[in-house]
Structure formats: C-alpha cells, structure tokens
Structure 1
C-alpha cells in the first residue's frame, strides 16, 4: 500500500492548499475588511459625536446676543437649556433601546433630522414658549438620539474587552475635536452674520451625521462577537431589572448626575459669566475651544487608564479634581488668563468620565444592552444638567452672581468622588455563572 503524502493537513482533515476556497482572494479580502471594519465604525462614531457635541456645546455663545435682542431674562434661557438637557436624558435610553432593537443607523438618521430642525427653528423663536420647544425639546431630543449611548454601544460591540476602554476613549475624544473646532467657528459666524444665520448653518452641518450613520449599522445580538459565552438568552427587560438591583449601577447614576450638573453650568453660563467679568466675548469662545482641546487629552488618558486600573478609582479621581479646580477658580482673579486656564483644566476632566462610566457598564453587565443601560445612566446625567443650566440662570437673576452655583459644584464634586469608591465592579455574567 502506497503511503499518503503529507501536504500539511492534520489527521482526519483535508490538506490546506493555497488555491483552496478558505485561502481564496475573495476570502482574504473579506478577512481584511473584517479586520478594519471596527476602526471604520470608530472613525464614523468620532465624526457623529464631533458634530453632536461640537454644535451643542457652542449654543451658549448665542445667549448674550439673544438676551439683548429679545429682552428675555437669563432664567428664560436657563430653563430652555435645562429642558434641552432633560429631553436629552429622556431620549437617550429610548434611543438606546431603539438602536438595540432596530439598529444604530436608523436611530442616528432620525435623531439628525430632529436635531437640525431644532437648530433652525431656535433662531426664529419669537416667544419664550417657542424657545423652550425648539432649543429645549427638539434640540434635546436630537442630541440624545445621536449621542454617547447609541454611538458607544455600537463601538463596544466590535472591540474586545482588552481594547474596548481605549476605543471608547478615542470615540469620546472625537466629540472634543468638534467642540474645539465649532466653538470659535460659531463665534466668528455669529459676529459676522448674526445668530439666526449661524444657527441655520449649524443645522446644515449637523446633517453630516447621516452619511456617517450608514457605517454604524449594527444592533444588539445574543451572539455578538464580544458577548461572553455565559450571557445566555437574557432579554432587555431582564437586563434592566438586573441593573437596577445592582448597587454599583445606582451609584454610577448618582455620579453621572454630578457630571451633568458641572458640564451644564459651564457650557451654558460661561459666556454670560465671562461678560459679567468685563471680558471680551471671544474669551468665552476660546475657553470652550480649550475645553474641547484638552478634553481630547483627558478622554484618551481616561480610556487608557481604564484599561489598566479599576475604573471606579479613576472616576473618583476625576470628580475630586473637578472640585479642587473649581475651588481654585473661585478664589482666583477673573482675568482672561484665569478663564482660559480654568477652561483647560476642566477640559482635561470634561468627558473623561464617559469612557470610564460606559466601560464600567460594559464590564459589569456586558456589551449586549449597553446602549439601553448607558442611556439610563445618561438620563441621570441630564437631570443633573437640567438643574445646572436652570439653577445657573435662576441664581444669577436672584443674586447677580454665579457664586452659589460654583460652590454647589464643589460640594457635588466631593460627593461624586466618594460614591464611586464602594462600586462592585466584578463582571456580573461570569459571577452569576460561577
């Protein structure tokens, strides 16, 4: 009997030939495309968040001119932005659930249309009620449907746990790039064309979310590549009840409430505060741009740190540093230099909470329903933002100063630094299986 020649196959399996279907040029092309597809989704996610946050964080620059033209009070604008933040929070978990059920692309396209409509109509508002509906309800809904829960969930499903935290940090930094570009651009357009035309231009720019959305066509699947094998057929309702009974999830909601309060106070009222200090309006635009620039460093560092050390300790550090920075700012002379230094310092701590918080949710509960669960935490963030935006205007109208809001921000920062320490960050799916 003639011996069989060994051509590289193992016992019981046919030999692997260079021209076999498994090694065909078509298969190799597919493998290469599959390898790079997560990075394409990450790039498109960065673009979506860049447009989302870049436009949104620039809206406070229009308040001084709108106050002068309309004669409305700071409380009126504070309430409009408070409603916006609240609607952002309400729509975020709904958009997350829709993305988990029907796909990310459809959710982002619908959100982009609502966002653009709200921006266009904000400039034509002729009464406080219209302002609250456009700048508040429509823009808030559009921002919520195109922001972190939907985008970061799509990205987290495509990256392994080892790379996920850094990928989420990169995506969060994408939003900062938009703020760095859009804040001075919006101020320049507003100075030359007025806020009505500028808001129309921003509405058109926000529609660029739509082409980027087509690359993000995934949705939650039980058999997603990075789902742990012991996840089982857990449904959305079961995942929600599991999360709400977890003390760590409750504490994350409490901490993210503080994050929303801080961001809303600064993004909404820094332009008015700067003008109150007798400084040029350009200082506020430069400050917001610096927040975006240094936030790139902060989010990337947070994403990297979250992959090396416990995320809960990193979150405590971020919130504690926020409180310290605000205390130093309160006692500092209010010059252009201190405003810009404060903006840079807060920028480094601005969205560094996002990759850590979202990464902690994915770590504990798995990535399958992250859009919905992070959307719920985002609702808490935006409830905090509601109070930050509204209280800023109210305190200013009552006292002629923002001091009360600054000290409230310090107290909340200390609170958030403490509540993250006892979070149980063990992987719940594996813990349950064990």
Structure 2
C-alpha cells in the first residue's frame, strides 16, 4: 500500500470511528432520556392530580408521533444530511421536556411530552443516526457498526435513569426534566460529525433508483411487509415494559427504587445485547437471529409474569430483557439495507419503524387503560407473550435476497 493510500485509509478509519462515537452519543442521550419517562408517572399522578390514563396517553402519543414523523425525518436526512435534522430534533426534544416541566394543565403535558418529544426523538434516533453510520462503513462491517452504535446508545439508559431519579428526589420533577433537556441540547451539534462520511459511492446492491420506485418496490416485497408487521411487536413489548414496569413492581410490593434499578439494568445489558446482535447479524441470516430473539424475549416475559416476584427474579428478568432489548434495531435496519441498499435507507427504515411505534403507542397506552379498567396488568403481560411468538413466526421465512434495479423496457424505435 502506498503512503498516500495508507494515509487515506487511516483518515477514513478515523472518521468512521468518530461517526460511530457521535452516533452512540446522540442515541445515548435521546434513548436514555426517553427511558426515564416511566419514573414520572407516579409523581405526575400524585403531585399534580393527573390520571394515570392521561399520563400514559402522553407517553404513548410521543411513540405514535415518533413513528409517523420518522419517514419524513429519514427522508430529510437522506436528502440534506444528518446535521440539520439532529440539531432540529435535539432542540425540539428539549423544548418538549421544558414544556412538560412547567405544564399548568394536562393538555400542555400531552403537547410537550407527546407531540414535541415525538418529533424531536424521530430526528435523533435510529432512522437518522443508524442510516448515517451505515453509509460510513462497508457492507461487510455494517451490521457490526450499527450494533456498536446501538450498544453505545444504551449507555444513556444506564446513566440517565439514575440521574433523573436522583434529581427528582432531591429537587423535584421540573428540575429533573430541565436537566434532561440540557443533555439533549448538548448533543444536538454532533450531527455534523455524522455527515463527515455521508458521500459514499453506490454499490452493486445500491442502485440509483428514485425514492418513488424504491418505495413501490418495498411495498411489493413480501419480506419487507413481514418485517414491518413483525416490528410492531418489538414496540409493543418494549414500550409497555419501559412505561409500566416500575408501577407493576410497586403493585407486587417490591421496593420503591427497584423499578428504576431494573430499567437501568436493562440499559446496561442492552449494551452487550446490541453489540451481540450486530455481531450475530454479520455471521448469520439476520431474519433468523430476529426470530430467535423474539422467542427468547417472549419466554422471559412469560416466565417473569407467572413466577413469584423477588429481587433476584426482577434482576434476572431485566438482564435477559436487556440482552434482547434493542438488538432488533441493527438487525432490522441492516436487513433493510441488505435488501434495498443505503440510498433511501432513512426513508425505508422510517416506514418500517412506523409500525414499531404504533405498537409502542398501544403498549404504553393500553397498559394504563387496562390497569385503570381492571386494576391489573395481567392481560397486557399475556398479550406481549403471544405477540412475540407471532413475530418470530413472521421473521423466519423472510427472503433477504438483494433486489436489483428493474430493467426498463425499451420503447419502440429505441436501440
């Protein structure tokens, strides 16, 4: 290798590393802050007199807004780059938290926590960040790189939950939410680093198709439809657990701080799980890894629900859930990239992720609704198990063959 080629390689590797670190930090802040919302349900209910159903609806609404705005955020990042999208998202996310901190009425909390946070998080998470990172690496290293970013992003869940809990207990809910808003403003400029590797040459599996043609091809692709439907389950399971696990443990007469500890443990083990899923996705067919992941997750949920609740059982449950928590994301986005290429990955993953967020909305909201109606979370726990088995069965038969640009039929008179 010549000196010039070696220098170019080292420069490229440095920027790939910077892109991975920047992506992990943005994800860490955005996802870590989001995972704290379950800690505010009881304080909002007891201190501000708001019904659990309304608070759960606000948290659920941000998932729905996130899902429906994700394709647009992904399309904007595909066209303009990650920098302006991440900056806008960080500012909007922080504004939503600040609005919630001083909300004088329930509808203001719904606007801040539901709408503003939903728009902000769509611009600072997977559809934008993983897409930018995927363009910075080769196809062979893509699954591993996205797994590393997702694993690094889990650090936020480990750090943000204790931070939010500590500030809430010492200074109140408003101060805790404002501190989280400052964290998001701090990472907003990191989209600039993600754009350093934006310009990459299309590969043989990344044809120069228009967005409309790509969306039409995806709509007709059976595997993409199965992947999109199955992703609904991931959102349903995770949003229910993240939102309602602390309250459920209190109903089971467990220590008051155990819910926050369990969520933090999920984030800690998710670091290993996301990396591991990325590693497995680079060596085995990603849809098969996804199928087994859903089966393992559902088995863990079912066992936790039927077995006696102890500190040990909660710890084991949190560890297993963490290992399977966000590993679906690098596998799903990697599978979309493998089939359709990276040119319109932000948009295609955004459409797929919309299904995930519809599931998240129902998981968070139905948890509160069913509890208010029945006084128990049992029906939702059972539903998460059934949905996980169904998702596994949908993923195993997915065809991951890369699509190619359709040949244009020559018009009469053309050579």
Q: Deviations over 1:29-80 (max 9, x none)?
A: 5553223211110110000000011111011111111110122211111111
Give the deviation of 1:280 after TM superposition. 2.6
Alignment partner, residue 412 of structure 2:
none
Alignment partner, residue 275 of structure 1:
250
1:363 has 2:341 as partner: no
Is there any run of 5+ residues in structure 1 with no aligned partner, and where?
1-15, 17-21
Which of residues 130, 138, 141 is equivalent to 1:160?
138
Alignment partner, residue 266 of structure 2:
291
TM-score of the aligned structures, taking structure 2 as reference length:
0.95
1:72 has 2:50 as partner: yes
Distance 2:366 2:198 in 1: 38
Q: Please list, as runs of the form range in 1=range in 2, the aligned pairs for 1:178-189 lying within 5 A after superposition.
A: 178-189=156-167
* Most deviating of 250-259 and 68-77: 68-77
1:217 has 2:195 as partner: yes
* Most deviating of 65-74 and 191-200: 65-74
1:122 has 2:97 as partner: no
Alignment partner, residue 306 of structure 2:
331
Give the deviation of 1:424 after TM superposition. 0.7
Alignment partner, residue 12 of structure 2:
34
1:421 has 2:399 as partner: no
Q: Please list, as runs of the form range in 1=range in 2, the aligned pairs for 1:275-424 lying within 5 A after superposition.
A: 275-424=250-399
Q: Deviations over 1:128-148 (max 9, x none)?
A: 211111110001111111110
Say if 2:15 and 2:197, in contact at 8 Å, map to a contact too.
no
Give the deviation of 1:126 after TM superposition. 2.1
Q: Please list, as runs of the form range in 1=range in 2, the aligned pairs for 1:63-212 lying within 5 A after superposition.
A: 63-212=41-190
Structure 1: 4+ residue segments shifted above 3 A: 27-31, 218-221, 229-232, 430-433
Say if 1:170 and 1:303, in contact at 8 Å, map to a contact too.
yes
* SS of equivalent to 1:216: helix
Alignment partner, residue 54 of structure 1:
32
Give the deviation of 1:380 after TM superposition. 0.7
Give the deviation of 1:297 after TM superposition. 1.1
Distance 1:400 1:375 in 2: 36
Say if 1:104 and 1:219, in contact at 8 Å, map to a contact too.
no
Distance 2:407 2:155 in 1: 40
Say if 2:38 and 2:242, in contact at 8 Å, map to a contact too.
yes
Distance 1:278 1:377 in 2: 39
Say if 2:207 and 2:404, in contact at 8 Å, map to a contact too.
no
The 1:401–1:236 alpha-carbon spacing in structure 2 relative to 1, beyond 3 Å, is same
Highest Rg: 1 or 2? 1
Distance 1:74 1:28 in 2: 59
Q: Deviations over 1:385-420 (max 9, x none)?
A: 000011000000011110010000011001001000
Is there any run of 5+ residues in structure 2 with no aligned partner, and where?
409-415
